[in-house]
Structure 1
């Protein structure tokens, strides 16, 4: 009888056309290498639906048999195509060695060969029965051992592929989980329909409902593609990026779209990177290739820190780019050290040069007998030399300071440390008061704390133009913190120096005039505290160093 397609055939042709259009769209618009395996999967689905539709257009067993064989042979490639896609989606391409690929491809090829030659051996099916009163005239096969061996293998690798995809998504962000939920929803209907057909439990005797469910499958795959960017954003980039050591991490796909960002990166960067946004929303003035080496500042756990941005290209096992990792490396310590060297360089070039020029000029006056009071000039020279020695000692101490981790903090009685500093301080030309009760703070470097207090006391006295400078050093414990306060009655700290201290950087036009505040601030930080200028003005200044209180035993 002539071929006469009915409604079932037309439905299957529609599924085949829809599958073909989806495969074509993926091939044209997606450049990722794993799109190839995905296209193969969708193409096999479409071919299965189309060939089965042609088969249902015939009503005799002889006419249906060639198309049935083609349908069954093509269907055997779907589990392999799914596993190939799953391996690439999960970033496991290193498993696809040449022997593994040949093994995976050889099984469906071997099955197809047995299907096409079944009339000679009967290993795939042993008989075909064509029910006369069925809703759709299609023969019901009696499957043999060869088919059951193949279907067991097929279900096993489909399940393994689902496991790989599900495990990858479970360790990834919400976007990937939505992708995988869509994929699992697409797989479930044909899997259940095929299991029912294999067990002879199809609602329509002999009719395989599997290709009919492909309509829903293709629709859900389209949702995963165009709603959740299935092939544009995959966990491959994220998995590779987790191997990159850094303090903050932003993962991008090959187009520069943010795929993921860890909590620290979201805290440090402003605006915080959001999934789906282009990286230019975070760095509008710097292109991606030029981001490496730039620095950003951000606050983490209440502390201002400096991070260096490093851009790494993520590649698969065949060296094809799959995305980018933006690593934010904490370089606060390095930045602080460079800052100390910058200030030391300025002091050595500017302050020492000026002082030595003065010494040179005064020495020439004595040598040429132009000095009215050579002893007084010699005293000035001695004072300048002493200042040079003191400055060089401060520069040496400044470059020695190294910040310590809070994990290294130990309980220290700051009152005792402060008492020792005051005892050793020269109070001949100043009044130094103290209120130093015993208070235990978490200190990472006791020597650095002493250096900070020494420099605050020196600053308070040296820059005070009163006849008898007054300074008060006190300790108080409040709200889980220990505070050291230095009060004086001097003229206040110039705005220029306060600005430099706030900015924690010098510019060629704005130099902090002395090293005292710099050294005190850095020493306080190295000791695990934070220096703050509470108030300053013509009636005096208050500087505070605050430390966490030590745990009481």
Structure 2
């Protein structure tokens, strides 16, 4: 190969070689936008060096050879510029997958293949000939369809990349202005140079000044890297950090207008759109937060807690205000950090509720052990002593008959106590399940009334039921049976002779059947009623000195909650008590959300 080096060729070769050397250094420096910038330098270096040798060549074949090498840089330069702009503007999601990158590379690969094989189809160049119009030989081209398609592709990528940079830099902070200007000016230079070449404005003949323009572009951006620390304090990196923060940040100017914020802050602004936040005064964004606004207006730095009411919800917030008026800053500014304490407060309340519940369970457990140790032991010991006395002929049969009613009451009390303790204990087991089914409420009520008729007749108490047949409910029948049994047993216990107990059912609006058990017995005081279902109430004796365990209502409440129901009571001292048992009518269907 023979070369006749001229000024333009030497400039391109030297600058191109320097660009190739720097491209390796930049590529190894970091990832992201910096790496794409290194690849862009590589493409430009290949184009410049090869075009320099083309300009130093004197034969058409030798020029074609270097043109083929040039296209390795020409075809990849716009795509590397586009990827660089995408990363720099924070839109890296477009090129995260190898599939997307491969799609973008289709046109450059096809263009290179068409240029290399042009002599077989002439799709890229219709014709190539040697021009001697200038001071040195150059190639004159007649573009083909492939050349025009690639040119359009070239400009589209340059335009999209430039638009991304322009949009991004318009939103960037003032501290990045020098960086922004250097990149935007650098991006315009290849446009001007290439458009001039394509429009025929060629003061140097057939000399393509585009590679010279790209060298200038790269030098300007390279200057930005070291002079303005372009990639050390990259705006994208700053915004990525702020966007990853869960705490909200906003920056106010000296007029208390929002000039910057992060994504986490957006949730506190209600229905305001992103373009409606910048420029608004803090009083417009949080009109009801007088304390926050006053602290900011008076330039008071510090932390304060507040509750923000927004269209998207209520937030417990700790606002950390920092007023900046240091000499290093040209303008005064206020930075406010919003730390969302809603979940922390919720978890704290939840932990406290669990602690209170655990304390109540421990107190109830202690009470149950106390009952077992005292109330359960006493009747059994009495029964054991009576049996010993009978076996030793200490008492006669007639004397035994006299104490038999008392023993019978003790045994009945002991049975009820054991049943309630057993049912409560089983309900507290983690693996204890329930067997919900549809059953006839009236049939179950009749069976329970029949069970209690002997004890009701003994006190001359009348039980009236008015539950319509066919009223079905959906629950664990055994559990509801235990609840009804406890309430009927209590009603009989606390009714005077000659009283009446009414049992009836009504429908509620929330899809439940409400079973009511009403008596006109001695009733309960408001204090006793308030602690009826939590196990804190002290058991009292019935109208004929019947003993109670104090656990029955705890079991009833536990069973009703587990059946998606409820239980409540109203009572007036001296007039009677009414219990309301709310039972689901149908199976509860959980909708998929």
TM-score normalised by L of structure 2? 0.43
Higher relative contact order structure (alpha carbons within 8 Å, sequence separation ≥ 6): 1
The structure whose Rg is larger is 2
Structure 1 length as normaliser, TM-score? Answer: 0.46
